[in-house]
Structure 1
Amino acid sequence: MNILVVGAGALGVYFGGRMLEAGQNVSFFVREKRAAQLTKEGLKINSPEGTFEGRDITIFTSPEEVRNIDLVILAVKGYHLDEVIPQVQTIVQQTGTSFVLPLLNGIEHIDKLQQAIGKEKVLGGFASIIATLNELGHVEHTSGSSTFKFGILHEQQTEISVQLEVLLSQVKTKLVREENILKSMWKKYIFITAFSGITSAMQLPSGFIVSSDATFATAKRVILEMTMLAEQEGIILTDQEIESVGKTLISFKKEATSSMHQDLRKGLPIEVEHLHGGALRLAAKHQVEVPVIETLYGILKPYENGRPTMS
């Protein structure tokens, strides 16, 4: 299977690199600046799951260059989605790509991709990892493990889902083929909206979530608001599943933090519109109130495009 990873941030390089390490035929579609960095510095992963370095990497910077792709793995930030969709459309049309597997957080991107390339082509999926890029563009994986989950959103995807599970079985990550991937995506969305929102608003790592009863109560309130939105969308979580999301929130090492908080500290754009803004659009759609999420959104919105400056 010929796999194209669109995006070479920490997420794309980590999982694309792990697939290369396992002997899979993987190429990358990136911007020219990132392509130059990868060409000069190579692809390198520093991780508790094992270090990997690759130099002979196939890189594309224009959709017209791409040929003979069976699966596109979309590993971009939410704020790049609208820019990338036309490029993915071109790649799918000219290569005959059968499926696209997005690893974005949130939910809104599924509908956008389905409208652009067809419902039958868009698989469900997401990744769980705490990682960032260092000054050389190499991955620094700081959590103890990583997880890659995927599953079908359309009846025509059963065969490729099984094939992908077998194909990627040797990859150094926890690979899970989910029967109800949409519910799993929602559970991740609930968690990441709380975790990224609270750590970024505090501008402190995860250990401070439980250091104050008021802060932990705020985080739990986000989980409840997001759970309500899931129910409005037909996704029902059990009490145990809701409790599990809360436990995950406080399971990290005290110094660990969210990717959004890491980006905010670096002065980079953050996914507040894709995550918290998406939740607000769902709340408006169903005419319900989510006051804590709305507050976090208001606090973080000035950082959406990087470190704010007075103009």
Structure 2
Amino acid sequence: MNILVHGAGALGVYFGGRLLETGENVSFFVRERRAAQLQQEGLKINSPEGNFEQQDITVYTKPEEVNDIDLLILAVKGYHLADALPQVQTIAERTGAYVMPLLNGIEHVEALKQAVGEEKVLGGFASIIATLNERGHVVHSNANSLLKFGALHPEQHNICDQLEAVQANIKTKLKREEHILKHMWKKYIFITAFSGVTSAMQLPSGYMASNDATFTTAKKVVFEMGMLAEKEGIALSTEEKEAIANSLISFPKESTSSMHQDMRKGLPLEVEHLHGGALRIARKHGVTTPVIETIYGILKPYENGRPE
């Protein structure tokens, strides 16, 4: 299978590297500065799941350079989606590739369907706590990682079969889900609460576990998001929402979200993609989400990086 990973942040390099490690033909589509770094420093993963490195990496910086791709894995931040869409559209039209987005949130699914066609967009998401060091190498800090995927259209079962066949040899949890949209919503619920609260308090997740008031705030985000999921046709039981809330305090106390890590570095945040997206869905259905709206207001000044 010929796989192109669009984006080479920690998430894209980690899962792209794991696929490369199994022997799949994996290349990366990146900006020129990142391409130069990858060519100089190589791809390297430092992880409890096993270290991996490869010096010679195939990289592209222009859509017109890309040929013979079966699957495009879109692993950019939400705030880069608008810039990535024309590139994805060109590559999909040139190659006929399927597109599997690993973005947080949910609004990107419809945007991609409009760009490349409903039959070409798979469902997918990833879970990992990782960052890039100064050399552009992945530092994976929690004990495991997960990539879930599944068909959103009947024409996608063959490409899903091909990806599923990789799972026996890959050093991450790679799981196919029949009801992938529900799983994507559950991840959206989790990450909106986890990233929002850790970033708003500017502290790691242990402070959620040790402060009842903080955990109550996070739990309210989960239940507000659960209401939005139900408005969008995704039914979640009270037990499922409670499980998502409890998972927020299941990490080692020093663990934190990628959004909080970005905030520490003074980088842009996905607040508009995550919390802003939730508010747009709420407005569409005529409901209110006051806790999400409050967190959105707190984080919005950091959207483009640390305020001057």
Give TM-score, length-normalised by structure 2. Answer: 0.99
Aligned to 1:232: 231
Question: Could you tell me how far apart the structure 2 residues matched to 1:220 and 1:171 are?
Answer: 34
Q: Does the 8 Å CA contact 1:19/1:168 hold for their aligned counterparts?
A: no
Aligned to 2:22: 22
Give unpaired runs (5+ residues) of structure 1. none
Question: Could you tell me how far apart the structure 2 residues matched to 1:42 and 1:288 are?
Answer: 48
Question: Could you tell me how far apart the structure 2 residues matched to 1:2 and 1:166 are?
Answer: 14
Q: Does the 8 Å CA contact 2:131/2:139 hold for their aligned counterparts?
A: yes
Secondary structure (helix, strand or coil) at the match of 1:167 reads coil
Q: Which one-letter code corresponds to 2:219 in the other structure?
A: K
Aligned to 2:61: 61
Q: Which one-letter code corresponds to 1:260 in the other structure?
A: M
Aligned-pair distance for 1:167?
A: 2.9
Q: Does the 8 Å CA contact 1:47/1:141 hold for their aligned counterparts?
A: yes
* Cα deviations by residue, 1:147-204 (Å, 9 ceiling, x for unpaired): 0000011111122212210134311101110010000000000000000000000000
Aligned-pair distance for 1:56?
A: 1.1
Alignment of 1:2 with 2:2, yes or no, is yes
Aligned to 2:171: 172
Give the total of aligned pairs. Answer: 308
- Deviates further, 177-186 or 242-251: 242-251
Question: Could you tell me how far apart the structure 2 residues matched to 1:20 and 1:166 are?
Answer: 14
Aligned to 2:254: 255
Alignment of 1:76 with 2:91, yes or no, is no
Q: Which one-letter code corresponds to 2:109 in the other structure?
A: I
Question: Could you tell me how far apart the structure 2 residues matched to 1:22 and 1:155 are?
Answer: 27
Q: Which one-letter code corresponds to 2:200 in the other structure?
A: A
Q: Does the 8 Å CA contact 2:167/2:173 hold for their aligned counterparts?
A: no
Alignment of 1:215 with 2:233, yes or no, is no
Question: Could you tell me how far apart the structure 2 residues matched to 1:169 and 1:27 are?
Answer: 21
- Deviates further, 154-163 or 31-40: 154-163
Question: Could you tell me how far apart the structure 2 residues matched to 1:295 and 1:33 are?
Answer: 37
Question: Could you tell me how far apart the structure 1 residues matched to 2:188 and 2:94 are?
Answer: 32
Secondary structure (helix, strand or coil) at the match of 2:165 reads helix
CA RMSD, Structure 1 to Structure 2 (Å)? 0.7
Alignment of 1:150 with 2:112, yes or no, is no
Q: Which one-letter code corresponds to 2:27 in the other structure?
A: S
Aligned to 2:120: 121
Q: Superposition pairs for residues 198-209 of structure 1, below 5 Å?
A: 198-209=197-208
Question: Could you tell me how far apart the structure 1 residues matched to 2:177 and 2:241 are?
Answer: 18
Question: Could you tell me how far apart the structure 1 residues matched to 2:238 and 2:214 are?
Answer: 21
Aligned to 1:31: 31
Question: Could you tell me how far apart the structure 2 residues matched to 1:295 and 1:169 are?
Answer: 44
* Cα deviations by residue, 1:73-124 (Å, 9 ceiling, x for unpaired): 0000000001000000111111222x10000111000000001100000000
Secondary structure (helix, strand or coil) at the match of 2:242 reads helix
Question: Could you tell me how far apart the structure 2 residues matched to 1:162 and 1:150 are?
Answer: 11
Q: Does the 8 Å CA contact 2:20/2:26 hold for their aligned counterparts?
A: yes
Q: Which one-letter code corresponds to 1:84 in the other structure?
A: A
Alignment of 1:195 with 2:198, yes or no, is no
Secondary structure (helix, strand or coil) at the match of 1:3 reads strand
Q: Superposition pairs for residues 40-59 of structure 1, below 5 Å?
A: 40-59=40-59
* Cα deviations by residue, 1:241-280 (Å, 9 ceiling, x for unpaired): 1121012101110000000000000000010000000000
Question: Could you tell me how far apart the structure 2 residues matched to 1:82 and 1:304 are?
Answer: 15
Aligned-pair distance for 1:43?
A: 0.6
Aligned-pair distance for 1:22?
A: 0.8
Question: Could you tell me how far apart the structure 1 residues matched to 2:16 and 2:60 are?
Answer: 14
Give unpaired runs (5+ residues) of structure 2. none
Secondary structure (helix, strand or coil) at the match of 2:109 reads helix
Question: Could you tell me how far apart the structure 1 residues matched to 2:307 and 2:168 are?
Answer: 44
Q: Which one-letter code corresponds to 1:71 in the other structure?
A: L
Question: Could you tell me how far apart the structure 2 residues matched to 1:52 and 1:167 are?
Answer: 17
Runs of 4+ in structure 1 deviating by more than 4 angstroms, as ranges, are none
Q: Which one-letter code corresponds to 1:38 in the other structure?
A: L
Aligned to 2:271: 272
* Cα deviations by residue, 1:11-42 (Å, 9 ceiling, x for unpaired): 00000001111111000000000001111111
Question: Could you tell me how far apart the structure 2 residues matched to 1:222 and 1:208 are?
Answer: 16
